[in-house]
Structure 1
């Protein structure tokens, strides 16, 4: 229009007058195209893990709705199946994440009703978290979450209809957490936890698995056959009963045994017993297991004890003391 006018006439401000006439034409304004795209404004890089989170709801897939949370710095993804796209559903899941990873500085979302509600505003205010909302009908503003939504949906569409959705989702998240990202060149787990998660492939080298060392204090304590001991009693009767280390009748941990002096006087319960000592119960002496279950122990030094034999009437030999002058 401007070129056509200038080919016939000219006056000062010709171009401005033509632009004004077009801007005041309603038909021209109603049918004109979109203006040229503005320069893309990329998000500033987060300075630390779990500083800026992008959140969004993923539409219904096979009757399931999901809530997604993406950490901008590490690309760590969290997905939770929810019953509705409500503010309470989003807050409940975010509270669980905050308890594990901490409270973020910023949360980016769209302008869905769940994120513009007073409940969600109060939630971000109480946590001193800045809430950034994208422009209407412009999902690129929250591109981090939108991209993860597309990735997750693409994965779920490949599944068989009879596949357990919870197991499939757990596998998807595990792969996402352990796979190096194309942008960061590191896996999300490495950036978030400063370590790699152990995968199935790590199990292929069992020789490198370390279970730690047994405490030296535990390995030094031992009992040989015939040692007089006090055995912790978990049946009715006294708390400790007299015994000798003999054979596999009663299973006890080292912490449940203590040395007993052979010359130690019997207690009142032992005197009232026909044998002069408190016998083991039927369950302990014959069945070979304590009446009360004992929790699993890491230490392998389990001592097998049984009912002590009757004392012999023969006088015991006096101990020989060390003589430094000779053998």
Structure 2
């Protein structure tokens, strides 16, 4: 891990310590009142506590970076301090480039406080870098940061989850999935043969999360989904609940179950 540091200023009455990571191109900017060794060490210690201690640090030959206090700081943290050639700023080209990015960002934000104007660095961090093709934040953190531009491109995953949730809420069988039938309970099941639309039976076994084997009063065993089953008033009263259909919408008057227990089966259409 190699980082480049440099000072720029005075700008807007401040000096700015600029640090950039050589791998991800991530940039950190710290405004200071004056470029002193003590202030520089404090700001670097703050940055390193967030992103970790680098292996190499490249800087110019300013008095701040060649002082004994700064030398002790890099040695105590086992950092290889590389100083560029005197009077040759391009030797620290990455640091100089970071300085230009900062100057341009501050020039674009002509109003607001200093803290607000420094938020222009955020745009740099989320923009794909010309040398890597990937934004600095993606290389450093492995993820994308959300910005106001994302409002123009809604998150597809969130949209799908929202639609699925809405479908679940409005699905007429949604309430049924929360109710479990036990063996032996009296129910009505939908009859798909000629005769009465609903026939009585008893729950025999559970065959799936929402499906049951129902033994009809005429002895036949049919398989039905929970949406095709209605509890009887008798079973509701037996459970101590109110005499109402808790499994789905009430049966329409024209679909009321037959009074007789057995329903003739159409000879031309076997029961499912």
TM-score class normalised by the smaller sequence: 0.5 to 0.7
The residue aligned with 2:80 is 130
Cα shift readout 1:147-195 (whole Å, capped 9, x = no counterpart):
11122112323332x421211111x111011000000000000000111
- Structure in which a larger fraction of residues adopt strand: 2
The residue aligned with 1:308 is none
CA distance in 2, matches of 1:321, 1:73: 68
CA distance in 2, matches of 1:75, 1:66: 18
Pairing partner for 1:86 from 32, 36, 60: 36
Q: Are 1:113 and 2:63 an aligned pair?
A: yes
Residues 208 and 124 of structure 1, relative CA distance in 2, 3 Å threshold: same
Question: Are 2:26 and 2:137, in contact at CA under 8 Å, matched by a contact in 1?
Answer: yes
Question: Are 2:84 and 2:92, in contact at CA under 8 Å, matched by a contact in 1?
Answer: yes
Q: Are 1:167 and 2:125 an aligned pair?
A: no
Larger Rg: 1
CA distance in 1, matches of 2:69, 2:90: 25
Unaligned runs of at least 5 residues, structure 1:
1-50, 212-319, 323-327
CA distance in 2, matches of 1:79, 1:113: 20
CA distance in 1, matches of 2:63, 2:155: 51
* TM-score, structure 1 normalization: 0.47
Shift of 1:207: 7.0
Unaligned runs of at least 5 residues, structure 2:
163-237, 241-272
The residue aligned with 2:150 is 202
Question: Are 2:89 and 2:96, in contact at CA under 8 Å, matched by a contact in 1?
Answer: yes
SS at match of 1:96: helix
The alignment covers a number of residue pairs equal to 163
The residue aligned with 1:101 is 51
Shift of 1:206: 6.5
SS at match of 1:152: helix
Q: Within 5 Å, give how 1:35-54 maps onto structure 2.
A: 51-54=1-4
The residue aligned with 2:102 is 152
The residue aligned with 2:125 is 177
Shift of 1:123: 0.4
CA distance in 2, matches of 1:321, 1:95: 69
Shift of 1:140: 0.6
The residue aligned with 2:134 is 186
Question: Are 2:14 and 2:34, in contact at CA under 8 Å, matched by a contact in 1?
Answer: no
SS at match of 1:131: strand
Residues 321 and 86 of structure 1, relative CA distance in 2, 3 Å threshold: closer
- State the Cα RMSD in Å: 2.2
Question: Which deviates more, 179-188 or 93-102?
Answer: 93-102
Shift of 1:94: 1.1
SS at match of 2:20: strand
SS at match of 2:144: coil
CA distance in 2, matches of 1:127, 1:72: 19
SS at match of 1:111: coil
Cα shift readout 1:10-47 (whole Å, capped 9, x = no counterpart):
xxxxxxxxxxxxxxxxxxxxxxxxxxxxxxxxxxxxxx
CA distance in 2, matches of 1:199, 1:98: 26
CA distance in 2, matches of 1:116, 1:100: 25
